[in-house]
Structure formats: structure tokens, C-alpha cells
Amino acid sequence: MNIVILGSGNAATHFGQQFQKVGQRIVQIYSKTKANADALAFALHCPAIDQLSELDLHADIYLVAVSDQAILPVIEALPKDLTGIVVHCSGATDLSVLDEFKNAGVIYPPQSLSKNKAVDFSAIPFCVEGNTDQNSATLLRFAQTFAPQSVYCNSQQRLAIHLASVMVNNFSNILYQMAYELLKENSLSFDLIKPIILETAEKVQNHIPITVQTGPAIRNDVTTMQKHLQFISNKPDLQQIYQLLSQEITKRK
């Protein structure tokens, strides 16, 4: 496949690296900031552009790998008569934003991507969708060259996966931060609870989460929960979070 990548950030970097690993050809990198386009293009050994008037019109895939807020401006500026498949990689953006293109689709990785942390795409079940059966099949075959576990998902299913990913990744991470701050205030190291973080993460690899739920809420240990709430009485936001999550656990006993 000949691929144009529109974007130069975390997602664009990882996609570009993975594409090249499996023998795909990156023909152009576009970014509205030329220095950013140049940096990624240098790493991937391909041309860089900062003007869409210079876009290669004969690529097989145009991957829009930008932030969700930037997807529409990029799409609106693209020529609408492109014959290649125009693809975005957002979990929360509907396929319909690409309705003006004859060939369109989505390749979404439910994974957190950072430039400075290597990611093994072969372990990620990418979510693929096309605007026709043929494009769905083409994109799924393409995705499976670098992510063999890739599956077909429609836009509603992809949004569900994106929301679930936010819950287990972003929401859990802010709970880690709140726990870090609580321990620091009491002259304790966050290292002390890293083993239990890993233990829980390992359990849910092989079990339905509620079946391995532990703690005072699942035991209906009201006395302990009241002690916890009293301990954080000067933190009303944390108290509210504690109560809401405890209620969710208790409902599933």
C-alpha cells in the first residue's frame, strides 16, 4: 500500500513506524507545521509537506492521524475526488464525517500512544470500519498485516470501546494520582501500592472483573467505609468519588 499520513504527533508516529515494519510505503507526511512534518518524514525517510495543495493524489490510503478536534478541519481541506481510502483513527468520531469521500473508513487502536514509549501493535485488537463492504474488507486485511487481532466494529461499537478504554485507562490513572497524593500527604511512598495495582491488572486478564472484586464495599463492611470517609473528611471530592464507586460495587454483590 502507498500511504499518506496526515499528522505528525503520537498516533502518526506510531502508525508510520508500524507501517514501515510490515513493508508498507509511506509516500508523504503532512502537517500544517513544516518542522513537525520534516521531523517525522526524516525518521520515516519520505517527503514532507505543509500545504495540502502538494498532496499526492495517487495514494492507496490517506490516514488522518490528528487530534479529534483537528479531524474536521483536515477533512474539509482534502480534495473530495481522492480515489484512495480516506481513513481516520479516532475512537469517538463517527465514520459519517467522511461521507463526502467515495472510499472511507476507520482504523482505531484502543491503546494509549506516546511518542517516547514503544507499542507492540501486534498485541492490540484494532477496530476497523469501512463505508462499503469492500472497503471494510480491504482495511481489515490491511490492519491485520500489523495488528493480527484486528476486528470489524461499527461506529457505535467503536464508541463503546473508546468509552470503556477511557474508564479503565484515564479514570483509573487519575485514581492512581489521587492515591499517590494521599500517600504523600501521610509520608508514604506510592511504591507501597504498586504490587496491588499489578495484582488487580493481572486478575482481570483471565476473569470477569466483578468475580475478583475485593474490599469493604463488596463485603458491605460499613464500619471500615465510614472510617475511610472520616479519614478524608477534608476532601469532599474524594469522598464523593469513594461513595459513588462503593455504591456501584455494592449493587453488584
Q: Tell me: the pLDDT tens digits for 117-171?
A: 778 888 899 999 999 999 999 999 999 999 999 999 999 999 999 999 999 999 9
Q: What percent of the chain has pLDDT over 90?
A: 92
The packing angle between helices 133-146 and 10-21, to 10°, is 80
- When pLDDT is cut at 50, 70 and 90, the band that residue 113 belongs to is confident
Using 50, 70 and 90 to split pLDDT, how confident is the model at 79? very high
* Beta strand 2-6 pairing with 25-30: parallel
- For residue range 22-47, what is the model confidence (pLDDT) as tens digits? 999 999 999 999 999 999 999 999 99
Query: Residue ranges of the domains in the chain?
Result: 2-153, 158-251
Decide if 127 contacts 108 (C-beta within 8 A): yes
Model pLDDT, residue 173: 95
Q: What is the pTM of this model?
A: 0.86
Query: What fold characterizes domain 158-251?
Result: N-(1-d-carboxylethyl)-l-norvaline Dehydrogenase; domain 2 (1.10.1040)
Q: Do the domains 2-153 and 158-251 sit in the same CATH topology, yes or no?
A: no
What is the second-level CATH architecture of the domain 2-153? 3-Layer(aba) Sandwich (3.40)
| Among 198, 191, 89, 97, CA closest to 150 | 89
Q: Using one digit for the tens of pLDDT, what is the confidence trace for 185-221?
A: 999 999 999 999 999 999 999 999 999 999 999 999 9
Total count of residues recorded for the chain: 253
Q: What is the pLDDT of residue 52?
A: 93
Please list, in sequence order, all residues whose beta carbon lies within 8 angstroms of the beta carbon of residue 238, skipping any fewer than 6 positions away. 178, 182, 232
Please state, in angstroms and rounded to a whole number, the distance separating the CA atoms of residues 7 and 33.
9
Cβ pair 109, 125 in contact under 8 A = no
- Cα 49 from Cα 56, distance rounded (Å): 10
